[in-house]
Structure formats: structure tokens, C-alpha cells
Amino acid sequence: MFELQRAHMSKPKKQVFSKVKAVKANARARVGTPPPERVLPDPKQKAAAKPKHKETLADLLTKTGEEA
């Protein structure tokens, strides 16, 4: 049964030499792996975290009244 399946499998693809991959592998061997990329904070998310409007005087007075 195994021999029948093996006859129908395709041959593995021959590896083609890539100059770019060879240069990168050489650089990694000499210098080491590059540091992981840093994610820059999204300015839109930063703006969304802040309230759009300042609090009104009435809101401020009710807040201080509840906390005190």
C-alpha cells in the first residue's frame, strides 16, 4: 500500500541558488540576527484615548462632590 502512494508523489523541487539569501545568511553569521522591530504608537489611537472635549464646570463640581 505504501509503495503505491510513493509512486504517485511528485519529486521534491530542486533548490535554486539565490544570491540575496546567501548574502543575508552570510551577514547573519557575521553580525548576528537583527533586533526585532519596534512598533511605533499609532497617533490615532493615542488621540482616541484622550477625551475630545474638556469637562464642564458642572461635571467637575459633581465629581469633586462625590469624592470628598
Across 31-68, b (16+ Cβ under 10 Å) vs e yields eeeeeeeeeeeeeeeeeeeeeeeeeeeeeeeeeeeeee
Question: In the prediction, which pLDDT does 68 show?
Answer: 47
pLDDT of the chain along its 68 residues, tens only?
A: 555 555 678 888 898 999 999 999 999 899 988 888 888 888 888 777 777 788 888 888 888 765 54
Question: In the prediction, which pLDDT does 37 show?
Answer: 86
Question: In the prediction, which pLDDT does 66 show?
Answer: 59
**For residues 68 and 8, what is the distance between their CA atoms, to the nearest angstrom?**
81
CB neighbour list of residue 55: distance below 8 Å, 6 or more residues apart:
63
**For residues 61 and 53, what is the distance between their CA atoms, to the nearest angstrom?**
16
